[in-house]
C-alpha cells in the first residue's frame, strides 16, 4: 500500500497549487489528480450539487487504489463533513490544515478567510476556528471575481482590475485588523503578491492548498505510509473536459519541467 | 400544437435576455426555459462537452412537448450544426438571426463579434456572414471576463474594472472600424451602455438573444403556429442547480412583475 498513489482532486485546475507543493515535499510519491473541468466551477453552485459532484470525484480516485485522498478544492472541503466517506482511505480537505496554521500564526486573535461564495456561505471556518479557540474573531469574505481573474492571467500586482477587486474584497479585512488571512480557495495563491501588497507584510497569508500538502506529509510520516521508492514519482492528471484545454493551464500552475501524463476521463454524466 | 409552449435553453441565466424579449413580443405564448446552472458556464468548455450537454438540454425540452426550441445560448448556438436535431420541432440558435440583423445594419461591411472563447474559436460567425456576403470583413474577440462581471453586477458605465476589460476587448473593434457589433453571448446586453459608450453611438449593437426572439415571432407567424390564447402565457423556468440560487438572478434578468414558476430538474448526470 505504501507505494500506492496519493489521490488529489479539485473542481478544475486550482488544486494543482497543492500538487506543486506535494511534488516539492514528497518527490517520490505517485500522484493521481482529478480536475472536474467539464463542470467547473463548484464555488458558485449549491451545497447539494457540490456534495453530489464530490462523491463522484472520490469514487473515481478510489478506483485508482489511492492510499489517501486530498480534497484540494476549498469549496468541496467546506462541505466535506456531509460527504459519505469510505472507511478504508483517509480523506482530508484544506479546512483543518489551514485553520491549524492560521491559529498558530495569529497573535491578535483575528483571522480572515477569503474564498468562494459557497465556502463563505458554509461558515465552516468560523465553526472550526471557534472550536479550537473561542476567543478568535473570524472574518469571512467571498471573492467571486478572483477565480476568473486568475484563470485569465490577471494577477499582476499592478493590474488595475485585479487591484480594484482585491481592494474591494480586502477592505473589511483591513478594517477588522486581521493579522492572518487564509486563502481558502486553491486559485488564490496566484494573487499572493497583490494581496500581500494590499494587506501589508505584517499579515500572514495561509495557502490552504500548500497547508494540505504539508498535512499529507505529516500524516503519512506518522502512519508510516510514505513510499519507499527512490526514483521520482509519477504524476497522472485526469480532467473531465478536453485534455487540450486542461494542458494550457498545467504549466501555469505546476511550472515547467514537470513530467505529467494528462488524460480525459468520464464520470458518467 | 399552436398552444404548446416555446422551449428556450441556455447554460445558465443569460438566455433570460431572450425570454424577456419573447414576453414583450409574444405575451400570450407559454414558455418553458431550462438553465443548466449545475454545469454553467459552457463558454469556457470544449466543443465535445458543449455538444453533449446541448443534446441533454434539447431532450429535456422535447419531453415538455414544445412547438419550437430556441437556443438562447451563444456558445451552444455556435456548435448547433453538430447537434443531432429532431425532425419534429424546429431548433434555432442565435447565429442566423444575429447575422441577418448585422448584415442588414452594416454600411461599411465591417462587422465585429464579441462572445465566449468557445464561440469565437468556432469561427461560425465568419463562415455564415461570408456565405451571405463575402465582401464583409468579420472581426471576432473572446471576452472571458464579461460573464463573471455581469453575474456579479459589475456592469455600470463608470465601473472601473468593467471599463478596463471592455476597453481591452473592444480595442480591436475600434481599430478595425466595425460599424456593427454582435453581442454574441446572451449575458452581454447587460453591458450595452458601457459598450456603446466605448464604441460610440454610430456603431449598431446587435443583441443576439433579442434577435432570436424576433426570429421566433416571424417564423411562427409565417408557419401559423402562434398561440390563439387570449390570456397571458405561463412562464416555467427550470434549473439544474438549486432554485434558491437561480431565483436570485431571475428578477435581475426579467425585471419585476414577471410571474414565473421556478423548479429544479435533473438531467441525470
Query: pLDDT tens for residues A34-51?
Result: 999 999 999 999 999 999
pLDDT band at residue A269 under the 50/70/90 scheme: low
Q: Which residue of B has its CA nearest to A165?
A: B161
Give the integer Cα–Cα distance in Å for B97 and A97. Answer: 53
Is B73 one of the catalytic residues? yes
Nearest to B26, CA basis, from B236, B232, B240: B232
Mean pLDDT within B22-27: 96
Cα B117 to Cα A151, B48, B75, B175, B188: the distances in Å are 13, 14, 9, 21, 14
In sequence order, the β-bridge partners of residue A113 are: A140, A182
Q: How close B163 comes to chain A (CA, Å)?
A: 9
B165 φ, ψ (degrees, to nearest 5): -70, -40
Exposure string for A109-136, b = 16+ CB within 10 A, e = fewer: ebbbbbbbbbbbebebbbebbeeeeeeb
Q: Above pLDDT 70, what percent of chain B?
A: 99
Give the pairing of strands A110-115 and A137-142.
Answer: parallel
- A86 has a pLDDT exceeding 80: no
Instruction: Give the domains, in start order, of chain B with CATH numbers.
Output: 6-93+210-264 (3.40.50.1860), 96-208 (3.40.50.1860)
Does B123 contact A at CB distance below 8 Å? Answer: no
Q: Which of A173, A116, A99 is nearest to A150 (CA)?
A: A116
- Per-residue pLDDT of B158-210, as tens digits, reads 999 999 999 999 999 999 999 999 999 999 999 999 999 999 999 999 999 99
Q: Write down the pLDDT at residue B87.
A: 72
Subunit contact A38:B49, Cβ cutoff 8 A: yes
Instruction: Name the least confident of A18-22, A246-250, B25-29.
Output: A246-250
Count of pairs with CB atoms under 8 A, one residue in A, one in B = 66
Closest residue of chain A to B46, computed from CA coordinates: A242
- The Cα–Cα gap between B235 and A38 comes to 29
Partner B contacted by A149 (CB < 8 A): yes
Task: Mark out the alpha helices in B40-159 (DSSP H runs).
Answer: 47-62, 74-78, 95-105, 117-122, 124-132, 146-151
Q: What is the mean pLDDT of residues B19-45?
A: 96
Check whether the bond before B41 is cis (ω within 30° of 0).
yes
Q: Which of A89-93, A121-125, B87-91, B224-228 has the lowest mean pLDDT?
A: B87-91
Q: What is the pLDDT of residue B84?
A: 75
Which one has a higher pLDDT value, B86 or A141?
Answer: A141
Judge whether A94 and A32 are in contact, CB under 8 Å: no
Alpha-carbon span A216 to A207, nearest angstrom: 14
A219 neighbors A26 (Cβ within 8 angstroms) = no
Q: Nearest CA to A140 among A78, A49, A66, A96?
A: A78
B241 interfaces chain A, CB cutoff of 8 Å:
yes
φ, ψ of residue B191 in degrees (nearest 5): -105, 15
Partner A contacted by B45 (CB < 8 A): yes
B48, B53, B152, best to mutate vs chain A, most A CBs in 10 Å: B152
The set of cell numbers assigned to B241 is 442547480
Using one digit for the tens of pLDDT, what is the confidence trace for A183-210? 999 999 999 999 999 999 999 999 999 9
Amino acid at each position: 500500500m505504501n507505494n500506492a498513489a496519493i489521490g488529489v482532486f479539485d473542481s478544475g485546475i486550482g488544486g494543482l497549487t497543492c500538487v506543486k507543493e506535494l511534488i516539492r515535499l514528497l518527490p517520490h510519491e505517485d500522484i493521481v489528480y482529478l480536475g472536474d473541468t467539464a463542470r467547473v466551477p463548484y464555488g458558485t453552485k449549491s451545497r447539494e450539487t457540490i456534495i453530489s459532484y464530490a462523491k463522484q470525484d472520490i469514487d473515481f480516485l478510489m478506483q485508482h487504489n489511492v492510499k489517501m485522498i486530498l480534497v484540494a478544492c476549498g469549496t468541496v472541503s467546506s462541505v466535506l463533513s456531509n460527504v459519505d466517506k469510505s472507511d478504508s482511505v483517509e480523506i482530508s480537505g484544506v479546512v483543518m490544515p489551514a485553520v491549524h496554521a492560521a491559529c498558530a500564526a495569529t497573535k491578535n486573535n483575528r483571522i480572515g478567510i477569503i474564498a468562494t461564495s459557497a465556502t463563505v456561505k458554509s461558515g465552516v471556518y468560523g465553526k472550526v476556528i471557534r472550536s479550537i479557540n473561542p476567543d478568535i474573531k473570524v472574518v469571512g469574505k467571498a471573492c467571486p471575481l478572483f477565480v476568473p481573474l486568475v484563470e485569465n492571467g490577471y494577477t499582476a500586482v499592478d493590474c488595475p482590475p485585479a487591484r480594484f477587486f482585491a481592494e474591494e474584497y480586502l477592505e473589511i479585512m483591513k478594517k477588522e485588523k486581521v493579522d492572518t488571512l487564509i486563502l481558502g480557495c486553491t486559485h488564490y495563491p496566484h494573487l499572493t503578491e497583490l494581496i500581500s501588497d494590499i494587506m501589508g507584510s505584517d499579515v500572514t497569508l495561509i495557502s490552504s492548498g500548500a497547508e494540505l500538502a504539508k498535512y499529507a506529509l505529516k500524516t503519512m510520516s506518522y502512519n508510516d505510509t510514505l513510499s519507499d521508492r527512490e526514483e521520482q514519482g509519477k504524476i497522472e492528471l485526469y480532467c473531465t473536459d478536453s485534455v487540450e484545454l486542461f494542458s494550457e493551464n498545467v504549466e501555469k500552475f505546476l511550472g515547467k519541467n514537470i513530467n505529467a501524463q494528462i488524460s480525459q476521463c468520464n464520470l458518467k454524466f
